[in-house]
């Protein structure tokens, strides 16, 4: 058995030699890897984020300086004891998934530091093939406070926006109610104005009918009687002695004046020309009459085409022109009067201008209303038929007055 013992000695010597070689190789490897490991540790220790490694028993195998500054020396302690002061693993910890190879991200609050951390848990393989858990922790306490403040501010802002929106809705509703009230009021005003226009038109019709009846009665009764009386006085005058001729001649002249005044009154009450020949000839006749009385030159320019005006509009415009001519004869001291009739844009325009003394147009307006020379009432009458009047005048430069009124379309009655 000596050879067996010799063989065991050789084997033992060889194993010792191999172990020595392995130890030497491990030493050289450690010396080679130490700088890299130290370099990696320095990197981890320079991080502001906390880094630690635990094994599957939750024992802390490594912690960088950030962890140690925050929680003290913790090598060999349990993670749940170090960070949470607990005696058993945290129920929400997903370490089993990490040890199975998953990377988990989560947030947690540590009662030890009273801070909130954003964490990444990742599996890391050891030299012996086992799996440990690497955790990287970033302090997000301030960020979370800012987020909470921002969330609070956002909530307050949302509440303010909601309040302002509700106020705006209430304001809009109030405005809508006011608008509706104003629309209804305007509709009532329009309705009242329409009724007023209808009443004014009807009143104008009634007044014109009365005027025509009076004019006809003057012409047919008093006018005829006066004409007959004048004729009889003329006949009797031829039969009486010469000493009575002067008296009868005086009576004959007075009756002639009465006939002329009756004829003029009949025309002023209701122009026969307006109903027999039409609006334009009536205006020409009217201007001619006032020119004879006032001693001024005149021109009248009329349309080349037919004017479509309702009867009540013709009467209103005829009277308006007559009233303006009365003002010219009384106040203007004019030597020339020009009248023109134009139509366009669905309106008739009558322009009456003179070279008289004129006046300052602003003097006619008192308290925002037109006054003087009956112009205010004239403008009001025109407004009842959607017409208007414009006045242009200056002291010593004459006056121009424009009357506007809507025309009647061929389809109107």
Cα-flanking dihedrals φ and ψ of residue 149, to 5°? -65, -45
Higher pLDDT, 120 or 368: 120
Query: 177-198: per-residue pLDDT in tens?
Result: 889 888 988 888 878 777 776 7
Instruction: Copy the structure tokens of residue 186.
Output: 């305007």
Under the banding of pLDDT at 50, 70 and 90, the label for residue 368 is very low
Whole-structure pTM over 0.75, yes or no?
no
Query: 299-349: per-residue pLDDT in tens?
Result: 999 876 667 788 888 888 888 898 899 888 888 889 999 999 988 888 889
Strand partners, 403: 350, 389
Cα(71)–Cα(160) distance, integer angstroms: 43
Q: Is the pLDDT of residue 8 over 70?
A: no
- Residue reference for tokens 């020379």: 373
* Beta strands at 365-366 and 347-354: parallel, antiparallel or unpaired: unpaired
| Angle at CA of residue 13, ends 9 and 18, nearest 5° | 150
Cα-flanking dihedrals φ and ψ of residue 344, to 5°? 175, 150
Q: Is the dihedral of CA 89, 93, 99, 100 positive or negative?
A: positive
Above pLDDT 70, what percent of the chain?
79
Burial of residue 33 (number of CB atoms within 10 Å: 0-12, 13-18, 19+)? exposed
Q: Is the pLDDT of residue 37 over 70?
A: no
- pLDDT reported for residue 123: 92
Burial of residue 285 (number of CB atoms within 10 Å: 0-12, 13-18, 19+)? middle
**pLDDT, mean of residues 271-277:** 81
The CA-atom distances, in angstroms, between 409 and each of 55, 204, 339, 342 are: 103, 21, 24, 16
Q: Contact, 294 vs 328, CB < 8 A?
A: yes
Query: 149-161: per-residue pLDDT in tens?
Result: 888 888 888 888 9
């Amino acid at each position: 058995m000596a050879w067996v013992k010799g063989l065991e000695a050789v084997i033992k010597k060889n194993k010792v030699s191999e172990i020595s070689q392995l130890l030497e190789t491990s030493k050289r490897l450690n010396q080679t890897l130490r700088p890299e490991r130290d370099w990696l540790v320095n990197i981890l220790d320079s991080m502001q984020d906390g880094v630690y490694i635990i094994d599957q028993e939750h024992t802390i195998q490594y912690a960088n300086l950030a962890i140690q500054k925050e929680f003290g020396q913790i090598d060999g302690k349990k993670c749940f004891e170090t960070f949470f002061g607990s005696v058993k693993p945290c129920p929400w910890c997903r370490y089993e998934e990490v040890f199975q190879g998953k990377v988990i991200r989560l947030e947690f609050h540590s009662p030890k530091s009273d801070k909130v951390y954003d964490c990444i848990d990742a599996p890391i393989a050891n030299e012996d093939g086992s799996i440990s858990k690497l955790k990287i922790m970033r302090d997000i306490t301030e960020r979370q406070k800012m987020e909470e403040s921002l969330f609070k501010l956002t909530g307050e802002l949302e509440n303010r926006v909601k309040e302002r929106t509700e106020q705006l809705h209430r304001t809009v509703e109030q405005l809508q109610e006011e608008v509706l009230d104003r629309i209804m009021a305007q509709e009532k005003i329009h309705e009242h104005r329409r009724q007023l226009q209808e009443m004014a038109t009807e009143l104008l019709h009634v007044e014109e009918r009365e005027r025509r009846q009076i004019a006809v009665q003057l012409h047919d009764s008093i006018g005829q009687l006066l004409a007959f009386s004048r004729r009889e006085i003329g006949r009797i005058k031829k039969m009486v002695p010469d000493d009575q001729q002067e008296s009868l001649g005086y009576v004959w002249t007075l009756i002639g004046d009465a006939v002329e005044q009756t004829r003029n009154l009949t025309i002023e009450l209701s122009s026969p020309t307006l109903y027999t020949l039409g609006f334009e000839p009536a205006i020409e006749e009217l201007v001619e009459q006032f020119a004879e009385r006032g001693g001024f030159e005149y021109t009248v320019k009329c349309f080349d085409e037919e004017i479509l005006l309702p009867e009540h509009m013709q009467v209103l415009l005829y009277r308006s022109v007559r009233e303006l001519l009365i003002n010219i004869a009384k106040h203007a001291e004019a030597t020339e009067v020009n009248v023109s009739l134009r139509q366009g844009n669905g309106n008739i325009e009558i322009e009456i201008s003179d070279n008289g003394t004129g006046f300052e147009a602003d003097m006619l307006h008192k308290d925002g209303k037109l006054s003087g020379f009956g112009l205010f009432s004239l403008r009001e009458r025109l407004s009842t038929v959607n017409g208007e009047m414009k006045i242009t005048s200056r002291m010593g430069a004459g006056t121009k007055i424009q009357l506007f009124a809507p025309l009647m379309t061929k389809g109107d009655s």
